[in-house]
Protein backbone atom coordinates (compact mmCIF):
# COMPACT_ATOMS: atom_id res chain seq x y z
CA UNK A 1 0.00 0.00 0.00
CA UNK A 2 1.30 3.46 -0.90
CA UNK A 3 0.00 6.74 0.48
CA UNK A 4 1.31 10.10 -0.69
CA UNK A 5 0.45 12.91 1.73
CA UNK A 6 1.08 15.61 -0.87
CA UNK A 7 -1.13 14.25 -3.62
CA UNK A 8 -3.71 12.01 -1.94
CA UNK A 9 -2.76 9.12 -4.17
CA UNK A 10 -3.29 5.45 -3.33
CA UNK A 11 -2.10 2.27 -5.07
CA UNK A 12 -3.23 -1.27 -4.48
CA UNK A 13 -1.67 -4.26 -6.25
CA UNK A 14 -4.05 -7.20 -6.46
CA UNK A 15 -2.62 -10.65 -7.28
CA UNK A 16 -5.19 -11.39 -9.96
CA UNK A 17 -4.33 -12.62 -13.43
CA UNK A 18 -6.68 -11.29 -16.07
CA UNK A 19 -6.59 -9.42 -19.34
CA UNK A 20 -7.48 -5.90 -20.35
CA UNK A 21 -10.24 -7.39 -22.50
CA UNK A 22 -11.75 -9.15 -19.47
CA UNK A 23 -11.56 -5.97 -17.39
CA UNK A 24 -13.37 -4.03 -20.12
CA UNK A 25 -16.01 -6.68 -20.70
CA UNK A 26 -16.79 -7.59 -17.11
CA UNK A 27 -16.30 -4.51 -14.94
CA UNK A 28 -19.64 -3.06 -15.96
CA UNK A 29 -22.25 -1.20 -13.88
CA UNK A 30 -24.60 -4.17 -13.72
CA UNK A 31 -21.91 -6.17 -11.93
CA UNK A 32 -20.56 -3.52 -9.51
CA UNK A 33 -22.18 -5.26 -6.55
CA UNK A 34 -19.93 -8.27 -7.29
CA UNK A 35 -16.89 -6.01 -7.43
CA UNK A 36 -17.30 -4.08 -4.18
CA UNK A 37 -19.55 -4.12 -1.14
CA UNK A 38 -19.28 -0.32 -1.17
CA UNK A 39 -20.30 0.43 -4.75
CA UNK A 40 -23.55 -0.44 -6.47
CA UNK A 41 -25.42 0.68 -9.57
CA UNK A 42 -28.70 2.43 -8.81
CA UNK A 43 -29.60 3.30 -12.38
CA UNK A 44 -27.78 2.95 -15.69
CA UNK A 45 -27.97 6.36 -17.37
CA UNK A 46 -25.82 5.88 -20.48
CA UNK A 47 -23.50 3.39 -22.08
CA UNK A 48 -20.55 4.59 -19.98
CA UNK A 49 -22.35 6.22 -17.03
CA UNK A 50 -24.59 5.10 -14.22
CA UNK A 51 -25.93 6.46 -10.98
CA UNK A 52 -24.15 4.71 -8.09
CA UNK A 53 -24.48 4.44 -4.36
CA UNK A 54 -21.25 4.61 -2.39
CA UNK A 55 -20.22 4.98 1.23
CA UNK A 56 -20.05 8.74 0.50
CA UNK A 57 -23.50 9.11 -1.09
CA UNK A 58 -24.96 8.95 -4.59
CA UNK A 59 -23.00 10.06 -7.66
CA UNK A 60 -22.87 9.76 -11.40
CA UNK A 61 -20.09 7.30 -12.15
CA UNK A 62 -18.27 7.68 -15.45
CA UNK A 63 -16.58 4.54 -16.80
CA UNK A 64 -13.89 5.16 -19.43
CA UNK A 65 -11.69 2.68 -21.26
CA UNK A 66 -8.01 3.58 -20.95
CA UNK A 67 -4.78 1.95 -22.02
CA UNK A 68 -4.49 -1.14 -19.82
CA UNK A 69 -8.00 -1.14 -18.38
CA UNK A 70 -10.61 1.26 -17.08
CA UNK A 71 -10.89 4.58 -15.26
CA UNK A 72 -13.85 5.38 -13.04
CA UNK A 73 -14.76 8.83 -11.75
CA UNK A 74 -17.47 10.11 -9.42
CA UNK A 75 -18.61 13.14 -11.43
CA UNK A 76 -20.20 15.22 -8.66
CA UNK A 77 -17.74 14.20 -5.93
CA UNK A 78 -16.37 17.30 -4.17
CA UNK A 79 -13.03 15.49 -3.79
CA UNK A 80 -12.71 14.60 -7.48
CA UNK A 81 -12.40 10.93 -6.54
CA UNK A 82 -11.42 8.68 -9.41
CA UNK A 83 -9.66 5.36 -9.75
CA UNK A 84 -8.25 3.17 -12.46
CA UNK A 85 -8.12 -0.61 -12.63
CA UNK A 86 -5.41 -1.82 -15.00
CA UNK A 87 -3.54 -4.96 -15.98
CA UNK A 88 -0.35 -5.59 -17.93
CA UNK A 89 1.53 -2.43 -16.98
CA UNK A 90 3.87 -1.14 -14.31
CA UNK A 91 4.12 -1.13 -11.38
CA UNK A 92 3.04 -4.79 -11.51
CA UNK A 93 2.41 -6.08 -15.07
CA UNK A 94 1.29 -9.57 -13.99
CA UNK A 95 -1.29 -8.28 -11.50
CA UNK A 96 -4.21 -5.90 -11.41
CA UNK A 97 -3.40 -2.43 -10.10
CA UNK A 98 -5.92 -0.06 -8.54
CA UNK A 99 -4.80 3.57 -8.57
CA UNK A 100 -7.07 5.98 -6.70
CA UNK A 101 -6.61 9.75 -6.51
CA UNK A 102 -8.31 12.74 -4.94
CA UNK A 103 -7.98 16.40 -5.90
CA UNK A 104 -7.07 17.36 -2.34
CA UNK A 105 -3.74 17.61 -0.54
CA UNK A 106 -5.13 16.59 2.85
CA UNK A 107 -8.22 14.94 4.33
CA UNK A 108 -9.27 13.96 7.82
CA UNK A 109 -8.18 10.53 9.14
CA UNK A 110 -11.74 9.15 9.03
CA UNK A 111 -12.00 9.86 5.30
CA UNK A 112 -8.59 8.27 4.67
CA UNK A 113 -9.77 5.18 6.57
CA UNK A 114 -12.87 5.07 4.34
CA UNK A 115 -10.63 5.21 1.25
CA UNK A 116 -8.65 2.22 2.56
CA UNK A 117 -11.90 0.35 3.29
CA UNK A 118 -13.08 1.09 -0.26
CA UNK A 119 -9.80 -0.24 -1.67
CA UNK A 120 -9.97 -3.29 0.63
CA UNK A 121 -13.47 -4.05 -0.64
CA UNK A 122 -12.38 -3.58 -4.26
CA UNK A 123 -9.37 -5.88 -3.73
CA UNK A 124 -11.54 -8.64 -2.25
CA UNK A 125 -14.08 -8.18 -5.04
CA UNK A 126 -11.46 -8.40 -7.79
CA UNK A 127 -9.98 -11.56 -6.26
CA UNK A 128 -13.41 -13.19 -6.12
CA UNK A 129 -14.59 -11.78 -9.45
CA UNK A 130 -11.62 -13.13 -11.42
CA UNK A 131 -11.07 -16.33 -9.39
CA UNK A 132 -10.81 -19.16 -11.96
CA UNK A 133 -12.19 -21.61 -9.37
CA UNK A 134 -15.45 -19.68 -9.06
CA UNK A 135 -15.77 -18.99 -12.78
CA UNK A 136 -17.48 -15.57 -12.29
CA UNK A 137 -15.66 -14.64 -15.47
CA UNK A 138 -15.50 -17.22 -18.26
CA UNK A 139 -11.84 -18.14 -18.76
CA UNK A 140 -10.08 -17.77 -22.08
CA UNK A 141 -11.92 -14.64 -23.18
Instruction: Give residue-wise pLDDT tens across range 62-80.
Output: 999 999 999 999 999 998 8
16 in a structural domain? yes
How far is the C-alpha of 28 from the C-alpha of 120, rounded, in Å? 19
pLDDT digits (tens, 9 = 90+) for 91-111: 888 999 999 999 877 678 888
Range from 6-10, 110-114, 129-133 carrying the lowest mean pLDDT: 6-10
137 in a structural domain? no
For residue 62, the domain's CATH number is: 3.30.530.20
Query: 58 CB contacts (<8 Å, ≥6 apart)?
Result: 42, 51, 52
- Domain boundaries, position 83: 2-129
63 in a structural domain? yes
Measured CA to CA in angstroms, residue 41 lies from 25, 26, 27, 52, 91 at distances of 16, 14, 12, 4, 30
Question: What is the reported pTM?
Answer: 0.86
What's the mean pLDDT in 41-47? 83
Are the C-beta atoms of residues 57 and 91 closer than 8 Å to each other? no
pLDDT: which is higher, 77 or 140: 77
Measured CA to CA in angstroms, residue 76 lies from 23, 33, 38, 43, 92 at distances of 24, 21, 17, 16, 31
The domain total for the chain is 1
Amino acid sequence: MFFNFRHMEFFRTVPVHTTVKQLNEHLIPERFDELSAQLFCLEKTANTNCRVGTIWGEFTLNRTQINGGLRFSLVECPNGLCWSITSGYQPSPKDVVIHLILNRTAKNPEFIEEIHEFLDSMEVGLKQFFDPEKLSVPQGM
